[in-house]
Amino acid sequence: MGESGIESVLSENRTFSPPAVPGGKSPRWHLSSMEDYRREWKRSIDDPEGFWDEIAHELHWFSPWSRVLEWNLPDAKWFVGGTTNLCYNAVDRHVVSGHGEETAIIWEGEPVGPAGPEIRRLTYAQLQQEIARFANGLKSLGVAKGDVVTIYMGMVPELAIAMLACARIGAAHSVIFGGFSSQAIVDRVLDARSRVIVTCDGAWRRGKVVPLKANVDEACDVLASHGHTVTSVITLIRTANTVAMTPGRDHDWHALTGAASPDCPCEPLDSEQMLFLLYTSGSTGKPKGILHTTGGYMVHTYLTSKYVFNLHPDAGQVFWCTADCGWVTGHSYIVYGILPNRVPTLMYEGAPNYPAEDRFWDICARHKVTQFYTAPTAIRAFMKWGDHHPAQHDLSTLQVLGTVGEPINPEAWMWYRRHIGHDRCPIVDTWWQTETGGHMITPLPGVTPTKPGSCTLPFFGVDAAIVDDQGVEQPHKHGGLLVIRRPWPSMLRGIYGDRQRYIETYWSRVPGMYLAGDGAHRDSDGYFWIMGRIDDVINVSGHRLGTMEVESALVSHPGVAEAAVVGMPHEIKGTGIAAFVTLRPTHTPPDAAAAEKFKNTLAAHVAHEIGAIARPDMIRFTDALPKTRSGKIMRRLLRAIAAGEEKITQDTTTLEDFSILAKLREQDEA
């Protein structure tokens, strides 16, 4: 077996037919059959320029394109010569067409007072004015087309307003998740050479204030020591915590926008104008600035939102993606993909378990959410907290459920279907990346028969395949490297300031193809199954195993809430399997002897589920796993711990809770 060959050892045979018609008051599906899907997908592959030309005409352009696609590997240009504006398509277009008084954004704050939580509703007309005022405020500070504006805020409406204001005037934005440290700000501001930072005094998280402005001030001091001057810091007052305001540099959001005109025409922008930078953590310790442009990204996120979530204007829908705008999921499926479809998008400020573990279901019921999009790690947390929480709330308005961020294990998928969707809502398990900009492999609701744990089939225009290192497509049921063989509109255009890293990371290993970095296989029906990151593949006695399948087997035991599996040095096998396991409270062992017995039980369970080759060599119980603030398990840190490395040399700026690493190290020393 070649280096890229990955064995699939997990068996999942359940298939669920899509509902013939949507339940309740939900509108029709956009497609009516798999024959429709196959015909449209084939058309999009056989004639991609004709297909995307037709879709792009559903949106507003100031001037037409001369060519749909210009492709010189690895560089793509989409809608060449065309000019448009994503803010215009997300907001102004609806005002012009007479829908200005309809709700664009529904926002709910985390704190719950005697009268309930704070709720704001912004119409498209109100949003247009707020965006224009802030865009004029940016202009007054010297921000011009092509500049990079750094945004470091909590999940307040002004975060979306700041993003859209940048898009309105042609400035790129670099959103940094509000849970990151001041060092993360330093790294990203330096790399982007940004001079303007937009922030809040603080943000609410589990009833406590995250000191955002103080973190920005600390970052500015460090940046100054590097010879980089931040000329303007704009601060929105949200939590009313005490903050320092530096004269000349610092500006109050409301003072800045209050003095600004509510009229700011959208700038006609070249289709390839940089829209945003979004930094992802890298194993080298230096974050990568993923660069996305305007036209292709706009068209792809608009279309995927429409079909994958079955969005229809005028149908009373409310879309809720639980991500933060600091992640690509928030960029594409809170703001830029949803608003052009003229369906209200819901933003929630806080944590899913504050003030109680039913907060998400309370929000769904009160706002009559119709599309709900969240991460597998959140679903596993809901499972751990108990079935009784969603059971207390009326979730009958839900029409489509979605998952995003990592492969979902079958048991979590089944729980989601049963307890949230009540066996009537299709689940769209979406595979995509920061780099791809939008959905790549996903079911279409009402059309695609679904299988727990499979992201199913490629979206329109996506030519996905499983290949070996030479680019030879692998037969079904054989694991390999997941690649995309043709350009798609929302693809990244580079790593900011580092072309060589862009080529080496995505285009060099498999000639002529985009390397996703995931291992995967296709089953006998051609469905894709993601087996984990290529870096996470474990070579056990000559067998290359994807970690996701071993993790899925562990989580299928009723006592396991969550698991992460990594490779570890093994004197006989070369590489052994180390499992870090979080238990449900009902199965927590009372003492060391019981813990050892339960570890043996879990190891035997894995062997029974997928074979003796996958039996873990080490199982360690832990109260929590090291994760990014988006909920992704940081397996590379666990690999370092399992290998007994004394010092972590990799990028940890995205780590949510450093104390988890410390506790795991204490266990090592014990």
Q: What is the pTM of this model?
A: 0.86
Residue 155 has what DSSP assignment?
S
Neighbours of 254 (CB within 10 A): 13
SS3 at position 6: strand
Give the confidence band of 414 by pLDDT, cuts at 50, 70, 90: very high
Q: CB of 54 within 8 A of CB of 40?
A: no
- Is cis: bond before 458, omega within 30 of 0? no
Separation of alpha carbons 412 and 453, rounded Å: 9
pLDDT in tens, 227-270: 999 999 999 999 999 999 999 999 999 999 999 999 999 999 99
Provide the mean pLDDT of the chain.
Answer: 92
Name the token pair of 255: 């003072």
Separation of alpha carbons 487 and 38, rounded Å: 19
pLDDT in tens, 531-549: 877 876 676 765 667 677 7
Q: CB of 272 within 8 A of CB of 70?
A: no
Give the per-residue pLDDT at 593.
93
Q: CB of 235 within 8 A of CB of 253?
A: yes
- Interval 414-435 mean pLDDT: 97
User: Of the given ranges (7-11, 495-499, 645-649), which has the lowest mean pLDDT?
Assistant: 7-11
Give the per-residue pLDDT at 575.
79
Q: What percent of the chain is modeled with pLDDT above 90?
A: 77
- Interval 107-115 mean pLDDT: 97
DSSP 506-543: HTTTTTTSEEEEEEEEE-TT--EEEEEEGGG-EEETTE
Q: CB of 71 within 8 A of CB of 82?
A: no
User: Of the given ranges (7-21, 186-200, 463-477), which has the lowest mean pLDDT?
Assistant: 7-21
pLDDT at 404 over 80: yes
β-partners of residue 291 are 277, 494
Name the token pair of 85: 């504006």
Give the confidence band of 670 by pLDDT, cuts at 50, 70, 90: very low
pLDDT at 607 over 90: no
Separation of alpha carbons 30 and 25, rounded Å: 15
- Interval 504-522 mean pLDDT: 94
- Interval 340-357 mean pLDDT: 97
- Is cis: bond before 74, omega within 30 of 0? yes
- Interval 351-355 mean pLDDT: 95
Tell which residue, 442, 405, 437, 440, has the closest CA to residue 427.
442
**Same CATH fold assignment for domains 115-274 and 537-669:** no
Q: CB of 467 within 8 A of CB of 510?
A: yes
User: Rounded to 5 degrees, what are φ and ψ at 663?
Assistant: -65, -40
CATH of the structural domain 115-274, one choice from 3.40.190.10, 3.20.140.10, 3.40.640.10, 3.40.50.980: 3.40.50.980
Give the chain's end-to-end CA distance (angstroms, integer).
39
Count Cβ atoms within 10 A of the Cβ of residue 178 and give its class: 0-12 exposed, 13-18 middle, 19 or more buried.
Answer: buried
> Domain residues of the chain, as ranges?
34-87+297-533, 115-274, 537-669
pLDDT at 393 over 70: yes
Residue 88 has what DSSP assignment?
I
CA-based radius of gyration for the chain: 24
Give the confidence band of 76 by pLDDT, cuts at 50, 70, 90: very high
User: Of the given ranges (1-15, 44-58, 231-245, 351-365), which has the lowest mean pLDDT?
Assistant: 1-15
pLDDT in tens, 128-164: 999 999 999 999 999 999 999 999 999 999 999 999 9
SS3 for 427-473 is EEECECCCCCCCCCECCCCCCCCECCCCCECECCCCCEEEECCCCCE
User: Rounded to 5 degrees, what are φ and ψ at 403?
Assistant: -130, 150
Name the token pair of 259: 């003095």
Give the per-residue pLDDT at 23.
62
Separation of alpha carbons 173 and 267, rounded Å: 15
To which CATH superfamily is domain 537-669 assigned? ANL, C-terminal domain (3.30.300.30)
Tell which residue, 325, 343, 326, has the closest CA to residue 334.
325
pLDDT at 317 over 60: yes
Classify each residue of 130-153 as buried b or exposed e, where b means 16 or more C-beta atoms within 10 Å of its C-beta.
bbbbbbbbbeeeebeeebbbbbbb
604-612 long-range contacts (CB < 8 A, ≥24 apart) are 605/553, 605/554, 605/556, 605/557, 606/550, 606/553, 606/554, 609/10, 609/553, 609/556, 610/9, 610/10, 610/11, 610/549, 610/550, 610/553, 611/9
What one-letter code names the amino acid at 503? I
Question: Residue 538: which region, alpha, beta or left (left: phi > 0; alpha: psi -120 to 50)?
Answer: beta
Strand pairing class (538-540; 543-545): antiparallel
Q: What is the CATH number of domain 34-87+297-533?
A: 3.40.50.12780
β-partners of residue 482 are 466
Neighbours of 355 (CB within 10 A): 15
DSSP 8-31: --------BPPPSS-STTPPPPS-
Give the confidence band of 569 by pLDDT, cuts at 50, 70, 90: confident
Tell which residue, 552, 621, 629, has the closest CA to residue 584.
621
Give the per-residue pLDDT at 543.
65
